[in-house]
Structure 1
């Protein structure tokens, strides 16, 4: 059974947005979590569905249906993973290229979540059975640093930081072509491709996406860049770099059809992740070196240039 919480609006709160009002009243629930419940029609005013921007009125009766956490049913698997840091609230891992972050249709084993369920006693329940603990993702063929929440409190705080764009996320990428400018910013909205629904694209009515890039090295036909995410849209770096004419080397979706390095996926590595610890308030930053295949490719390109 879901827990039902009821609130009656008094005169001193009139005019507030409902998501702001409830985030002040419910200490263990973030504003983003409240907005998700509103989207799912779990929050009503006077028994009617509303939106997050609803301005509350004097005498409004607000009911909040808090779903009961679902017991995790994904199988725990004894898979070796590189844990960079762990405490009672979070676990930071260095995900290898080729590993899927969480189970999905047709792929329920061998994921990072399967591995974490074996090594951690608990993971947050906010994203349900399939994605426990997953606050943010990196693609299957992207390697690097990822933080996972072990409880709902940590999940809510980390999700809020991501939403406010305060999490530091630095990637290293290898592009096709030689980028002439030393640095730049790509501020173009990203959404689902209008025809190829499994792809993302720069589209007019997409969500705002901002990528800052800096050239680290230039080779004969390629460029090594540092990319910093201001936002975190699906496939953002891959889509943005392809949009300006420099797709990632090895990218099977947005890259060149003819691949010359025989890679297993795009040359993209999440090198640095920095955030405020949800419990202590301390800034923490983690990094991981480039995987061997990536480093070997760079050395090869240096010899060829």
Structure 2
């Protein structure tokens, strides 16, 4: 049984298409609104409408919003290429390979960090939602590098708080198109879901506070290698902020990167690597730093650029 909503069409939406009106009223994407209409979950004055119907002020809407599908549980199987950088009773630190999500989500059927740890016989904390046990931060499926997972309940609560309070040092290297001006700077711009509802995020007024510090390590002819420190950890934050500056990560076609350059450098994903992670150990209080080398595809792209002078 879904969530039932009944309300009149407000005056301000007079003459709007039904799918657009629903998107405005409930904060759905237009696509999601169209799906609800097609599945018979929307009635206008008691009748089944079409998504292109125009709505009239005062017409009565009955909308049934189905419950969100449950996320699948992790599949416990070893993940090739995922290496353990450090492990004790409280934490396990991994270097995550390409094509691996942090935990299962609706629509992701590929390997996960949690599944790989469970498949390798590693215990993880049972705090948090069942499908994301021990996950205190995430990397995109195609972003590689260092990630910490909590094994004890104490570590889970300590690290969750540390990430929230920004007492963790997260460093990334990103290869971006063009040259940064200035060479070093800070992007402070709020991020939220892109209004299109297509899975992208964007700089949006009223979005979540998002701060990215960058510094140029090396400038090549067509691209620049940046050292990036994240103050916040929003979904796709570096990718969105770099794209907003018109310097998308090389290979990041979702955010407007040049496919010709990506092909020439042999990069089939965003050139972005979580190169180091530092945090206070939840049990000992010791400040610990872990680093991860560039994977082969990213290293190869840099070699090509260096050879070009």
Which band: TM-score by shorter chain?
0.7 to 0.9
**Residue of structure 1 equivalent to 2:228:** 227
Which residue of the partner structure matches residue 67 of structure 1? none
The 1:73–1:183 alpha-carbon spacing in structure 2 relative to 1, beyond 3 Å, is closer
CA RMSD of aligned residues (A): 1.6
Is residue 216 of structure 2 the alignment partner of residue 205 of structure 1?
A: no
Three-state SS of the structure 1 residue aligned to 2:255 is coil
Deviations 1:79-110 (A, max 9, x none): 34200000111100000122122112243452
Partner of 1:112: 113
State the Cα deviation string for residues 269-293 of structure 1 (Å, max 9, x = none). 0001000011111110000111121
State the Cα distance separating 1:251 from its structure 2 match.
Answer: 0.5
1:213–1:73 Cα change, 3 Å: closer
Q: Distance in 2 between matches of 1:234 and 1:267?
A: 16
Q: How does 1:44-193 map to 2 (within 5 A)?
A: 74-80=74-80, 81-193=82-194
Per-residue CA distance 1:93-142 (angstroms, 9 max, x = gap): 00012212211224345221111112244212222221111110001111
- CA, structure 1 residues 264+278, in 2 after alignment: closer, same or farther (shift >3 Å)? same
Q: How big is the shift at 1:152?
A: 2.0
Which residue in 1 is equivalent to 2:43?
A: none
TM-score by length of 1: 0.73
Q: Return 215-224 or 108-117, whichever deviates more.
A: 108-117
Find the residue that maps to 1:302 and give its secondary structure: helix
Kept after mapping to 1: 8 A contact 2:177/2:224: yes
Secondary structure of 2:278 counterpart: strand
Distance 1:106-1:208 versus aligned 2 partners, 3 A rule: closer
Residue 270 (structure 2) aligned to one of 252, 266, 273:
266
Tell me, in whole angstroms, the C-alpha distance in 1 between the residues paired with 2:302 and 2:172: 15
**Contact 2:93 2:146 (8 Å CA) reproduced:** yes
CA shift digits 1:41-92 (9 cap, x unpaired): xxxxxxxxxxxxxxxxxxxxxxxxxxxxxxx953311334200000111100
Q: Is the 8 A contact 1:141 1:264 kept in 2?
A: no
2:292 maps to 1:291: no
1:216 aligns with 2:217: yes
* Alignment partners' CA distance in 1, 2:74 and 2:248: 35
SS in 1 for 2:95: strand
Map of 2:279 onto structure 1 = 275
C-alpha distance in structure 1 between counterparts of 2:299 and 2:279, whole Å: 27
Detail structure 1 runs of 4+ shifted over 6 Å in the superposition: none
Q: Which residue of 2 aligns with 1:55?
A: none
Aligned partner of 1:29 in structure 2 is none
Matched length: 234
Distance in 2, Cα, partners of 1:122 & 1:223:
40
Consecutive unaligned residues in structure 2, runs of 5 or more: 1-71
* d(CA) in 2 for partners of 1:273, 1:183: 21
